[in-house]
Amino acid sequence: MLSGRLALVTGGGSGIGRAVCQVMAREGARVVAADLNEASAKETAALLASAEHVGVPLDVTSEESVAAVVRGVRDRYGAPADCVVNSAGINDDSFLVNMIAAQFMKVLDVNLKGTFLVTKLSTNAMIDAKIDGSVVNIASIVGKVSSIGTCNYSASKAGVEAFTRTAAKELGRKGIRCNAILPGFIDTPMVAAMPEKVMKLLVPLIVLGRPGRPEEVAELAAFLASDRASYMTGASVEVTGGYGI
Ligand SMILES: NC(=O)c1ccc[n+]([C@@H]2O[C@H](COP(=O)([O-])OP(=O)(O)OC[C@H]3O[C@@H](n4cnc5c(N)ncnc54)[C@H](O)[C@@H]3O)[C@@H](O)[C@H]2O)c1
């Protein structure tokens, strides 16, 4: 499905990002796993078991860091990535009454500004190289369905959805599609860190009765990145097991 394609996956060292790297490599793409945690990005590349895949350090909140990775990909492979998946993300939950501004902004910085920087610089590189491409942004169902304690996270993810639609509108005539995925509760280190009593309340609200697996999100990311989704842009697709319907 992705043979001949070159993928850049942020947050590629863990959870959903790592699963995206694995599914995209299985589907024939060469994969650059990029993560703040360089060791975990390199671990992902090692799991893919071919020298054509690499793991690189990236801080999505830094324009210099994003520019260096975009340049590095072009130098290494002779072309920019034509599949970009923005999966780097953090949460830092607290009730609104207790949330401090720095905590609010930190989450927006990684989840929203990071998505903006990676999308802007990588699609500029596609346009310069005159190639078509696809961007997949990992938003969240929590950007749409309310969730107590996540006013920073939910605002950032609603922002990613709105950003994706505008990017799709601006970039469609340049041959670049942009779509968002809204996962529900997926079994990754981010969700493992949630208090057990919260998960006990949440799981009964999931129609399929269980959290999702990272690869269940990754399969959709690979599809959206591929030509099989050639008429999809500006869409937000839920992968929630029915949570929030
Ligand atoms: N797990 C879920 O239930 C769930 C649900 C909805 C949305 N999401 C979203 O999916 C994405 C992946 O989450 P996950 O559950 O796999 O979490 P995770 O914690 O397993 O992975 C997130 C990765 O992002 C990296 N990262 C953090 N800050 C970064 C930065 N500044 N620059 C580059 N990399 C950075 C981390 O090092 C980590 O490897 C996130 O955007 C998250 O908000 C997750």
How large is the average pLDDT for residues 115-128? 98
* Residue 205, domain member (yes or no): yes
Backbone torsions φ then ψ of 59, nearest 5 degrees: -110, 110
**What percentage of residues in the chain have a pLDDT greater than 70?**
100
Lowest mean pLDDT among 21-35, 119-133, 192-206: 192-206
* Rounded Cα gap, residues 189 and 89, in angstroms: 12
What lies within 8 Å, CB to CB, of 130 at 6+ separation is none
Q: How many domains in the chain?
A: 1
Mean of the per-residue pLDDT values for the chain?
A: 97
Which range marks the domain in which residue 34 is found?
6-239
* Residue 196, domain member (yes or no): yes
* Rounded Cα gap, residues 227 and 233, in angstroms: 12
Judge residue 6's burial from the number of C-beta atoms within 10 Å of its C-beta, 0-12 exposed, 13-18 middle, 19 or more buried: buried
The 10s digit of each residue's pLDDT in 176-208 is 999 999 999 999 999 999 888 888 999 999 999
Q: Alpha helices of 14-83 — where are they, by DSSP H?
A: 15-26, 38-48, 63-77
User: What pLDDT band is residue 228 in, cutting at 50, 70 and 90?
Assistant: very high
Bridge partner residues of 95 (DSSP): none
Residues 158/142, Cβ–Cβ less than 8 Å: no
* Rounded Cα gap, residues 179 and 30, in angstroms: 21
* Rounded Cα gap, residues 41 and 127, in angstroms: 27
Token readout for 230 is 């050639």
Distance 72 CA to ligand 1 centre (A): 22
CATH number at 36 reads 3.40.50.720
* Residue 244, domain member (yes or no): no
Tell me which residues have their CB closer than 6 angstroms to ligand 1. 10-11, 13-17, 35-37, 40, 58-61, 87-90, 110, 114, 138, 140, 183, 185-186, 188-191
Tokens 């968002």 correspond to what residue?
180
User: What pLDDT band is residue 37 in, cutting at 50, 70 and 90?
Assistant: very high
In one-letter notation, the amino acid at residue 158 is A
Residues 214/47, Cβ–Cβ less than 8 Å: no
77 part of the active site: no
Distance 147 CA to ligand 1 centre (A): 18
- Atom from ligand 1 closest to the CA of residue 86: 41
Name the closest-CA residue to atom 1, ligand 1: 186
Higher pLDDT, 192 or 34: 34
How large is the average pLDDT for residues 209-222? 98
pLDDT reported for residue 49: 86
How large is the average pLDDT for residues 206-223? 98
* Rounded Cα gap, residues 202 and 222, in angstroms: 28
Distance 130 CA to ligand 1 centre (A): 30
The 10s digit of each residue's pLDDT in 50-92 is 999 999 999 999 999 999 999 999 999 999 999 999 999 999 9
* Rounded Cα gap, residues 127 and 221, in angstroms: 22
Per-state percent for the chain, helix, strand, coil, to nearest 5 = 50, 15, 35
* Residue 1, domain member (yes or no): no
Q: Classify 122 as helix, strand or coil.
A: helix
pLDDT reported for residue 195: 87
* Rounded Cα gap, residues 170 and 190, in angstroms: 32
pLDDT reported for residue 83: 98
